[in-house]
Structure 1
Amino acid sequence: MKALLLDFGGVLVQTSKRPSWAAELAKEVHQRLARAGFGGLEAEEIEVDIRAGADADRYWKDAMSRLAAPVEMTHRGFWGDFVASDWPAAARELVRAEASALCRRMGELRQERVVRPGMRALLERCQVPVAVVSNALCGAVHRDFLAAAGVEVALQVYSDEVGVRKPNPEMIWIATRALGVDPSQVWYVGDNYDRDGLCGVRAGVGTTVIMRSDSTDTIPYRVRQRPSAVVDDAAGLLRLMEAS
């Protein structure tokens, strides 16, 4: 192994949902609209559309896992098409103009994050460069978290920043080119069969590992391609690495 590539949520970081996130975000969007002189939407209406947009985005992500080379949703596309498609034109254009800031705020509010147990020990013992390769509506939120948590990696590749998303193998190839290694020389670890496992196989990595998380068994459809191994946690991954 010449490099270790890790997914963010479910592998490097453990997440939990914040039930109040949409109401909090809707209040902030309502305030932005009010400052711009637009008062045609109530905060409750905005919350309904934010939640609907997030649900639509989830279904879209499932569909994208069937494409050979899916691209990522843009910030402007998410807010303009998935959230504000039925808003008055002035309100829709405002959130499109501020879409990147709104996606960042959405990422901050939507989940609580902690480094997954055992991951710090694994990173300390790893003798090869470690990179994060992850789908993200706003990778800046992930970068902020890792910096605040004191987690250092050699490289971070996020789908919103590069314009493609897993299982597009280009996500992994971007990392391997930057690290100067061949895909066959790396391990890729993710927690979803239809995105991570499939991406590793498509990219031709040496070893594809699924680390089980709360979302691993939520599979939208059957995936024929199988990972090289499945582990339960960071300790299991470390044992597998040491055994190899």
Structure 2
Amino acid sequence: MTLTPPRALLLDFGGVVVQTVHRANWADDLAAEVYALLDGCGCRQFDTTAVRRDILAGAAADSGWKNAMSRMPTPSELTPVMFWRDFVAGDWPDQARAIVTSQAWLLCRRMGELRSERRARHGLVDLLAWCTGRGLPVGVVSNALSGVVHRDWLAHAGLEKHFALQIYSDELGIRKPHPDMIGIGCRSLGVQPGQAWYVGDNFDRDVLCGRRAGVGATILMTARDTYDLPYEVAAEPDAVVADPAELLVLLKGAYV
């Protein structure tokens, strides 16, 4: 298939911009911080083991919820309040639920920081430099329970200057495969969806979102969990690449 050169390039964050590696002790560290928060407010019905149990239960419930949302045509995003009040603290005493509800945004940010380590994917810097040199705008369009964690990573890595915009589901209140995630990105960059490429690392959220939005090309970048599908997905990508280095080769070929 011959791909039309894009006027904008939109990238998922996890699996495309970065490869994430889960930290084995993230739940222990977060539980200790939540326990200290509860204890500081005089709420002493818990120990760290119980807090850790419910954090892990909430994370598992969140994962199942995300899979279900990919079956909906226009899914909303789970809010930090819903995650902590309902998924983690659903059976906690009123005082404890109120504490984590009041701090939900900060707790989601802290969970995102503790849960994973992030490394730029192979070839990312060269890809971004080439796009910048060619004047091809690049944006991030990504699901996230705390998009600020991704913004912080790009800023710390010195890469945010290469991105014309960053769009995260928690900030919009909708999540992929809602087509407006890509639609808003395209309108922000002044292009039609058919003039943009969208690159993601999974079928049920990214490839399906690209199809729903009507992008010019939907590119699948393989990552650790790409083929661990929660269920069969009919949507297929226009091309498959292994990493940003291969994406750059594909981009250059489209301009020949």
- Letter of the 2:148 counterpart: A
Matched, 1:228 2:238: yes
SS of 1:171 mapped into structure 2: helix
**When the two structures are aligned, how many residues end up with a matched partner?**
244
SS of 1:37 mapped into structure 2: coil
State the Cα distance separating 1:89 from its structure 2 match: 0.7
Q: Hey, what's the Cα distance between the residues in 2 that align with 1:70 and 1:7?
A: 17
Could you say which residue in structure 2 is the equivalent of 1:213? Answer: 223
Q: Hey, what's the Cα distance between the residues in 2 that align with 1:140 and 1:36?
A: 26
- Letter of the 1:122 counterpart: L
Report Cα offsets for 1:97-144 as digits up to 9, x if no partner: 100000000000000011111000011011200000000000000000
RMSD over aligned Cα, in angstroms? Answer: 0.6
- Letter of the 2:236 counterpart: R
Q: What is the TM-score with the length of structure 2 in the denominator?
A: 0.94
Q: Hey, what's the Cα distance between the residues in 2 that align with 1:66 and 1:242?
A: 34
Could you say which residue in structure 1 is the equivalent of 2:3? Answer: none
State the Cα distance separating 1:60 from its structure 2 match: 0.5
The unaligned stretches of length 5 or more in structure 2 are 1-5
**2:108 paired residue among 100, 103, 107:** 103
Matched, 1:238 2:248: yes
Q: Which runs of 4+ in 1 moved over 2 A?
A: none
- Letter of the 1:131 counterpart: G
**2:141 paired residue among 126, 133, 136:** 133
Report Cα offsets for 1:183-213 as digits up to 9, x if no partner: 0000000000000000000000000000000
Could you say which residue in structure 1 is the equivalent of 2:22? Answer: 17
Q: Hey, what's the Cα distance between the residues in 2 that align with 1:175 and 1:196?
A: 14
**1:151 paired residue among 155, 159, 164:** 159
- Letter of the 1:148 counterpart: H
Q: Hey, what's the Cα distance between the residues in 1 that align with 2:228 and 2:235?
A: 16
The unaligned stretches of length 5 or more in structure 1 are none
Q: What is the TM-score with the length of structure 1 in the denominator?
A: 0.99
Report Cα offsets for 1:143-181 as digits up to 9, x if no partner: 000000011211000000000000000100111111111
After superposition, where does 1:79-228 map in structure 2 within 5 Å?
79-126=84-131, 127=134, 128-152=136-160, 153-228=163-238
